[in-house]
Chain A
């Protein structure tokens, strides 16, 4: 017999052994992809969502907080013997929605949970909890969402929602991931990076069914979530509520600022919406309803509505003219009703009287003196020179440019410049006689309410301002953002402001403000404005600060289509001052007048 055959058999055995060991060496030692695959097999990345920072008012009262909400998740493989009809009833969805959702979940994974219904509220959960045991494969996962103590300040607070696909694409910091929440407007958007905190990640070991079996490597790679920083706003919640109450049923805005710091005490926009509507499960339906509302509740009027400044602008004209030496406080100009009409007051005025009585021809002449100084023989060139320095002066009051408030989407208003008129007149020559309507705050001038409140604060401070802002402390720092600690001076010297203060005091003492803005123990300084709004009724405007000495509050009030400034706006502004300084009004009839809302004759 062939003896070599026994070696052949042995050789086969040894060859097989060597083949195995070679193959094993290649997959075990040389190739690392299997080790990686093994880790991805067993590691479940669980995101630990951070708590979003909480928002307080200036007195430490809670405005925005987090409340648990619940996502219903499903593991398709675990769904057994489901009574679909009952399920649909309990969760208030249709059979079609159910099929669509379960198919989407199946496409994702049969063994891993995916979100089935987003954001069930506490109440929803209480309702469905008893049924959950019948629905195998469905589980509840907790997450927090925003909640509000009072239905106020919605436009300033903004809202939070899941980060959109477009935002994810545009996110250059690569921070956001699908499922994250992000502030979409207002403080929530502006202070997003402070509020959001930082996500944590936990690596869990799972078995083949996706069931958790403990921490991966004893949690060596886990990171804890870091809660977002709390914000203390400058808002006085009581005053804010009161402002909202006063503006109920009206379109307009109320801005109140603490002049000594630029802190915004209240920022009311009307009409508005309940911020609670833009949280939770009904977010998308509510959002489309709110955004389609013709009353534009999402439009943040204090920052975004642009109006002509009206008579209030005369104070700025006076200040600039004093600074430029064009007039003095005793400059007398007769009221000849030309080239503009005027109200019926005396035959002529000095400066304080002209402001108090809002004399149009007076300020026509004041601006003419400021703009046409005779620097050039040519009256066209002379106007250009005068206007460009005028523009610089006006801009130093925080007009024509965004103030830099800590909210997105601030509008600039408009301070016309030489370039502006060149464009408007298509480079044909123009001079003062073409542009004089800006002298009395009509014409091309545009301001936003926050700028007017800031202007009131400038007069209250006699010449400077802090940029109005809504957050006075980020986290425990006790500090706002650094730019809000910087004093901004106007081009007008402090000494000239006395005239403006006196005139504004006079407006309330004996002028247009005397009927509805005068308070018994507090000397209020104010100025009415009536902004032409043809063919609709005029907008009612009032700015004020109080007390006259050492002012604590500066206010601007705009009420659209409400006629004279002395009526709706003056009433509201003085009520706000009373509320802030005294705690409540001593003039219930004024409050009633405002709430009644019949301002036109």
Chain B
């Protein structure tokens, strides 16, 4: 049995179809976003983003074939090497990279620009998978957890140093992977709770109400505990104090830790109408574009808001506006449906792996895709602060498309060999 037959027989063609379907939809919407009626443009025009995206897609296929041809054990065996290489590139770009729009995260190779942080995601996923599948790994061990967070945190910190906080935030989603793999949900719950408290603090101007709420909630929790051990009561009190600490620190975080543009993004989320021409501009215009689409949209290439530059970054981070405007709620439904289908399919694939390496990697892929999908669409409709990360496979950009292609197809490669793997 040749390798090629092996691949074609066992590859998950549904995922491949979803991949190409989403990528082609993205490509068409990139064209719509930059389309200028008066210029009589062609979707294949190389001077347009759509023409270039097609090249990126073509080269992605080459990458995919390469991934499929390489032996599946390579990704396990060389997981740390790949990770190490990427960390090296991240440091390198920090020192010698080119600064674009405030982020020093680009390499310039002739006419091409590469963003190593887009490739750090699959490398980190590989390293996490390798570490978690190593013999003797136990997720409830603090020492193992420290190593895990170091694997995830290192690229994140390097990317923050590059000035690209949005991409760095993606690494926080590994918490969901760890959760799936048996880590105590406390971290997940604490993270979500802190985020909720953080937003509540911004929404409720009088913090006294929050403190009263915490005291009441704490009292109820203590009452509900059946065995009132000192440890449990102490835990609740400690939790209350931590949450109160979050409230106290919000003002400090907002005004001293976050950069002005980040502060504005949070303000825009809390009160988008506060300054529609200033910090609220992006979100306001994005919502106008999407909201003006109605049920069925204005039609392909008929959008006005994106075309006339009211929406910023309309072919990259705000690409979803074009769908919302030109294809309406129906288009949104199809797009979101496709993404949810892809995500559930990836989880399905991950769950059917017998090898822990593949499963952890699969969950990493699902979670990274999920984070991008949720944050990207969430920000265009005003549910998340504006965090400049692309919609996977959809947004214009070579590094991003390659990064996600690699991420996904390594999983498909691993999946195609799932029957050959011996369970450790």
Contacts and interface: CB of A to CB of B under 8 A. Distances in A.
Interface string B373-412: 1100110011100000000000000000000000000000
A29 B304 contact: no
Interface string A1-37: 1100110111011101101110111011101011101
B305 interface: yes
A35 B336 CA distance: 22
B309 A208 contact: yes
B289 interface: yes
What range describes how many residues of B lie at the interface? Answer: 35 or more
B310 A23 contact: no
Interface in B318-353: 324-325, 328-329, 332-333, 336-337, 339-340, 343-344, 347, 351
A28 B329 contact: yes
B332 A24 contact: yes
A280 to B, nearest CB: 36
Nearest to B370: A13
Given A14-B340, A23-B383, A37-B288, A9 B176 contact: yes
Given A38-B305, A206-B308, A5 B291 contact: no
Given A13-B343, A20-B336, A208-B308, A27 B289 contact: no
Contacts of A42: 304-305, 308, 310
Given A6-B180, A23-B381, A42-B308, A13 B329 contact: no
Contacts of B328: 28-29
A209 interface: yes
Contact residues of B: prevailing secondary structure: helix
A5 B180 contact: yes
A39 B381 CA distance: 19
Contact of A35 (B38, B292, B310, B370): B292
A214 B294 contact: no
A277 to B, nearest CB: 43
A207 interface: yes
Nearest to A211: B308
B295 interface: yes
A205 interface: yes
Interface string B179-201: 11110000000000000000000
Nearest to B350: A6
A143 to B, nearest CB: 27
A70 to B, nearest CB: 28
Given A10-B347, A38-B304, A207-B308, A31 B291 contact: yes
Given A9-B347, A28-B329, A35 B291 contact: yes
A28 B324 CA distance: 8
Given A5-B179, A14-B340, A34-B288, A20 B295 contact: no
B374 A27 contact: no
Nearest to A34: B291
Contact of B294 (A33, A35, A41, A206): A35
Contacts of B291: 27-28, 31, 33-35, 37-38
A586 B305 CA distance: 78
Of B291, B340, B366, most buried by chain A (CB within 10 Å of CB) is B291
Contacts of A2: 182
Contact of A209 (B37, B309, B363, B378): B309
A207 B307 CA distance: 8
B332 A27 contact: no
A28 B295 CA distance: 6
Nearest to A25: B329
A180 B41 CA distance: 41
A213 interface: yes
Given A13-B343, A42-B308, A24 B290 contact: yes
A10 B176 CA distance: 11
B327 to A, nearest CB: 10
A33 B290 CA distance: 12
A10 B341 CA distance: 11
A21 B308 contact: no
A102 to B, nearest CB: 19
Contacts of B373: 16
B41 to A, nearest CB: 14
B293 interface: yes
A205 B291 CA distance: 19
B287 interface: yes
B332 A207 contact: no
Contact of A28 (B179, B293, B370, B378): B293
A542 to B, nearest CB: 71
B288 A41 contact: yes
Contacts of A31: 291
A34 B332 contact: no
Contacts of A28: 290-291, 293-295, 324, 328-329, 332
A28 B336 CA distance: 15
Of A8, A9, A23, A207, most buried by chain B (CB within 10 Å of CB) is A9
Given A16-B378, A33-B291, A41-B308, 6 more contacts: A6-B351, A9-B180, A16-B374, A24-B333, A35-B292, A214-B37
9 contacts: A5-B182, A12-B370, A16-B373, A16-B378, A20-B378, A23-B382, A35-B291, A38-B289, A208-B308
CB-based closest 5 A-B pairs: A34-B291, A38-B292, A207-B308, A27-B291, A17-B340
